[in-house]
Amino acid sequence: MVATLSVAVPKVKLKHPPLRIYRMGDKVLRQPAKRVSQINEEIRQLARDMLQTMYSFDGIGLAAPQVGIPKRMIVVDLYPDKPEVPPLVLINPEIREYIGEAVAGQEGCLSIPGVFCEVMRPEGIVVSFKDETGRPRILRADDLLARVIQHEIDHLNGVLFVDHVENELVLDQELRKHGFQMQDVQRKGKPSAAPR
């Protein structure tokens, strides 16, 4: 077999995805992730497994901590129905600049399945990262792509989208409806009452 730097995998739903997705309440989602020091075949295989898992659960973004691996790496694909569009792998991503106004948008998360709420985020960003080949890159992202990248980078810092939701009442209802609890939310400046 010839070695390849590509991380492209078929954009299909597997009955048995390669990785398990951790859910809100699991501690790994609240740990800050560590930088990736070497971009090698092991990292590329992780990217493939993450993508395959993401496609299997209808996600458009996934961060390594969500599969229990506290590394600073995310995968994004806004076009799961377009096989010709390659996915994005962002290793050690850093937001360099925020652009424009904060705008409201609906978000969900594979670690909090079923829960959807509105979150305010800057509409554009400039992000630096290394891709799966180790090449340094800078990307200007707007709208949905900017939102997804910000959401996924939050995961690398132990932050979940529900932490940003302003309407506590709506959030509480939405969480309960899907079997989650308000005590696992860490609102800004208000750490969760019950450490676990």
What is the full DSSP assignment across 48-81? HHHHHHHHHTT-SEEEGGGGT--BSEEEE-S-TT
> What is the three-class DSSP state of 149?
helix
Report the nearest approach of Ni ion to the CB of residue 114 (Å): 13
**What are the residue numbers of the active site?**
152
Pick from 59, 158, 73: nearest CA to 109: 59
Residue 54 is a binding residue for Ni ion (CB under 5 A): no
Contacting range for Ni ion; rule: CB under 5 A; set: 14-22, 74-82, 103-111, 123-131: 103-111
**φ, ψ dihedrals at 96, nearest 5°:** -95, -30
Nearer to Ni ion, 9 or 64 (CB): 64
Q: Using the rule CB under 5 A, is 109 a contact of Ni ion?
A: yes
- Which residue's CB is nearer to Ni ion, number 89 or number 109? 109
| Interface with Ni ion in residues 142-181 (CB under 5 A) | none
Q: Which is nearer to Ni ion, 78 or 134 (CB)?
A: 78
Shortest distance in whole angstroms from residue 155 CB to Ni ion? 6
**Residue 160 vs residues 63, 80, 107, 184, 187: alpha-carbon distances, Å:** 11, 23, 11, 10, 9
Q: How far is the CB of 84 from Ni ion (least distance, A)?
A: 26
Residues that bind Ni ion (CB under 5 A): 109
